[in-house]
Amino acid sequence: MDIKFVKGSEIDKVKWNSCVHYANNGNVFGYMWFLDHVAKDWHGLVEGDYESVFPLPFQERRWGADRLQQPSLMREMGLYSIHILSQKRLAAFLEAIPEEYGKVDLVLNEQNPPLGDSGFDFLEETNYQLAMPKEYEEGVEHYSRELMTTLDKAVQADLLPTSGLSPEKLIGFFRKEVPNYPGKTADSHALLRIMYNCLHRGWGFASGIQNREGELLAANFFVYSHGKVMSLIPVESKKGKALGALSFLFDLFLRSHAGRPLVVDFNSSDPNGLGKAFGGLANRYFRIRRKSNSWF
């Protein structure tokens, strides 16, 4: 298997994006424009003529070796390929990761199989996803009792959907309502660029919930990619939470998309979150850490 290490500045943008686009396991996280916005520095492993690719986001260290570290805002990445995602292929890519990286802490995408015998520990994580029902009423049957109570509260509060939210307004709402979010400034800029890239490609839209006075109570940005629609930045105010605004937003989204051949990616591992409440199932993927390397 011909796997080579390619510096970020030397990667063929068109071929890399084409591989991710047509990969059996492609997702939005693998595109170069997404990587460039969330990872400060990254290189890549490439098989053949970009038949398979594996991003390597790294952090330079003043003392000691550089390390591979999963960027904020990027749930998963790993190996993307137009070939079968076998254990043999993944093992070959992991073996090709340069030893110069003193630490490896990366998250593989959901179709990268775990390896029993390798130089890496595989730590299972979960993400909630929901196959879009053929009929909205069919999906409601899987809503939790608590969710139904919350939605009744939202209806009684006479909440209204609002569209046409600009990325700037959504980010402003995010910064106001989540003041203690770690890395807020850097992630705010990255999220802004991601949203505009999605809008430019026709791959996403912002949506919100407001009261009769026009006060924004909840908002989110949804990203379409590879047969899925992902929740990118769900936010609600304290008042919105008390009225079930974010739950109402997701319910309206499911109502408007019912019958489409899509999977809703809640982009959340919270077993007590909205993903499970709406009937989503836990989908496993793996974080890998090199066994032989220290964290320091």
CA-wise closest residue to 7 among 98, 71, 74, 118: 98
Question: Over 70: is that where the pLDDT of 220 sits?
Answer: yes
- The residues, ordered by sequence, that sit 6+ positions from 161 with a Cβ below 8 Å of its Cβ are 207, 208, 209, 210, 249, 252
Is 52 in contact with 19 (CB distance < 8 Å)?
Answer: yes
For domain 133-261, the CATH class is: alpha beta
Domain spans of the chain, in order of start? 3-125+285-290, 133-261
- In this chain, the answer to whether the domains covering 3-125+285-290 and 133-261 adopt an identical fold is yes
| pLDDT over 90 percentage in the chain | 85
Q: What are 138-177's pLDDT values in tens digits?
A: 999 999 999 999 999 999 999 999 988 999 999 999 999 9
For the record, the structure tokens of 237 come out as: 């105010």
User: 3-state SS string over 19-56?
Assistant: HHHHCCCCCHHHCHHHHHHHCCCEEEEEECCCCEEEEE
Q: What is the pLDDT of residue 182?
A: 64
Q: What is the pLDDT of residue 62?
A: 57
Question: Over 80: is that where the pLDDT of 280 sits?
Answer: yes
- The domain over range 3-125+285-290 is classified in CATH as 1.10.730: no
| DSSP result, 81-114 | ESS---HHHHHHHHHTS-TT-SEEEEEB-TTSPP
Give the confidence band of 183 by pLDDT, cuts at 50, 70, 90.
Answer: low
Q: What is the pLDDT of residue 1?
A: 86
> Which amino acid makes up residue 268?
S
